[in-house]
Amino acid sequence: MWATMPRPARTVFFARLLAIGGSAALTLTMANAQQPAKLAVAHRGASAYAPEHTLASYRLALDQGADYVEQDLAVTKDGVLICLHDESLERTTNVEEVFPDRAVVDPATGLKQWLAADFTVADQTTGRRKLV
């Protein structure tokens, strides 16, 4: 099955495995599959060209020849998994403008942060993604 599966289908297959916690299955499948010596893995998609962890970034990474797109996952306040590299939202979104009063102060640095775990999915889709 693996050898006949086109590259985009393999990427989606592995993304679904990762999204449901199938990292053990992912390791076994990769170990048993015949793979080229080197693979291109797009971490967060083509994040140098499109906002990271967006559909545009994932599609561009595949168009550029990535074998896989690796997602980072975070959990929202309402328990939904989202693709987010950081634990906070300010680097990749305009959360400071949309929710200026919902920041918490990081005790280690004294800087304001808008933690993904403090916002629901509905809150997070209110703002915009930044090109980072």
**Which of 80, 68, 81 shows the shortest CA–CA distance to 14?**
68
Residue 28 counted as domain residue? yes
For residue 109, the model assigns a pLDDT of 94
Residue-range definition of the domain harbouring residue 112: 74-124
For residue 42, the model assigns a pLDDT of 92
Which of 15-19, 54-58, 83-87 is the least confident region? 15-19
What is the rounded distance in angstroms from the CA atom of residue 53 to the CA atom of residue 56?
8
Whether 78 and 61 share a structural domain: no
Confidence of residue 31 (pLDDT cuts 50, 70, 90): low
For residue 21, the model assigns a pLDDT of 44
Residue 56 has pLDDT above 50, yes or no: yes
Q: Quick check: helix, strand or coil at residue 38?
A: coil
Residue 2 counted as domain residue? no
Q: What is the mean pLDDT of the chain?
A: 78
Average the pLDDT over 7-33 and give the result: 47
Whether 42 and 55 share a structural domain: yes
Tell me whether strands 68-70 and 104-105 are parallel, antiparallel or unpaired.
unpaired
For residue 69, the model assigns a pLDDT of 92
Whether 65 and 79 share a structural domain: no
Average the pLDDT over 86-114 and give the result: 93
Whether 15 and 49 share a structural domain: yes
Whether 100 and 46 share a structural domain: no
- Which positions are annotated as active-site residues? 43, 85
Residue 129 counted as domain residue? no
Residue 25 counted as domain residue? yes
Whether 91 and 57 share a structural domain: no
Residue 53 has pLDDT above 70, yes or no: yes
Whether 67 and 86 share a structural domain: no
